[in-house]
Structure 1
Amino acid sequence: MTFQSPVYGVIAVPIEKVKPNTYNPNSVAPPELELLYDSIKEDGYTMPIVCYHDEETDEYVIVDGFHRYRVMLEHPDIREREGGLLPVSVIDKPIDCRMASTIRHNRARGSHSVDLMSNIVADLHELGRSDAWISKHLGMDRDEILRLKQITGLAALFREADFGEAWEPQEEGADASAPSGRIASARPTAAAS
Structure 2
Amino acid sequence: MRKIRRFHHLIYNISFPVLNVSLVNIDKIVANDYNPNKVAPPELELLKISIVEDGFTQPIVCYYDTEKDEYKIVDGYHRYFVSKNILHLKEIPITIINKPLVNRMASTVRHNRARGTHSIDGMTNLIESLINLGWKDSEIASNLGMDHEEVIRLKQSTFLKDIFMHHKFSKCWKEFEDNYYPKE
Q: Give TM-score, length-normalised by structure 2.
A: 0.78
Q: Which residue in the other structure is 2:149 paired with?
A: 143
Q: Which residue in the other structure is 2:97 paired with?
A: 91
Structure with the largest fraction of strand: 1
Q: Write the letter of the residue equivalent to 2:136.
A: S
Q: Which residue in the other structure is 1:18 paired with?
A: 29
Give 1:113 deviation, angstroms: 1.3
Give 1:151 deviation, angstroms: 2.0
The number of residue pairs the alignment matches comes to 152
Give 1:154 deviation, angstroms: 4.4
Once residues 55 and 126 of structure 1 are traced to their aligned partners in structure 2, the CA distance between those partners, rounded to angstroms, is 53
Whether the aligned pair in 2 keeps the contact of 1:115 and 1:151 (CA below 8 Å) is no
Q: Which residue in the other structure is 2:15 paired with?
A: 4
Q: Which residue in the other structure is 2:158 paired with?
A: 152
- Give a deviation string over 1:141-176, Cα, whole Å, max 9, x none: 11111121122234889xxxxxxxxxxxxxxxxxxx
Q: Does 1:60 align with 2:71?
A: yes
Q: Does 1:108 align with 2:114?
A: yes
Q: Does 1:72 align with 2:83?
A: yes
CA change 1:154–1:122 in 2 (3 A) is farther
Once residues 123 and 27 of structure 2 are traced to their aligned partners in structure 1, the CA distance between those partners, rounded to angstroms, is 38
Once residues 104 and 18 of structure 1 are traced to their aligned partners in structure 2, the CA distance between those partners, rounded to angstroms, is 21
Q: Give TM-score, length-normalised by structure 1.
A: 0.75
Whether the aligned pair in 2 keeps the contact of 1:10 and 1:88 (CA below 8 Å) is yes
Q: Does 1:130 align with 2:136?
A: yes
Q: Does 1:50 align with 2:56?
A: no
Q: Write the letter of the residue equivalent to 2:27.
A: E
Give 1:129 deviation, angstroms: 0.7
For structure 1, the 5+ residue unaligned runs are 158-193
CA change 1:54–1:126 in 2 (3 A) is same
Structure with the largest fraction of helix: 2
Once residues 113 and 43 of structure 1 are traced to their aligned partners in structure 2, the CA distance between those partners, rounded to angstroms, is 23
Q: Which segments of structure 1 move beyond 6 Å, counting only runs of 4 or more? A: none
CA change 1:112–1:155 in 2 (3 A) is closer
Give the superposed CA RMSD. Answer: 1.8
- Give a deviation string over 1:52-109, Cα, whole Å, max 9, x none: 0001111000000000000111124x51xxxx11100100000000000000000000
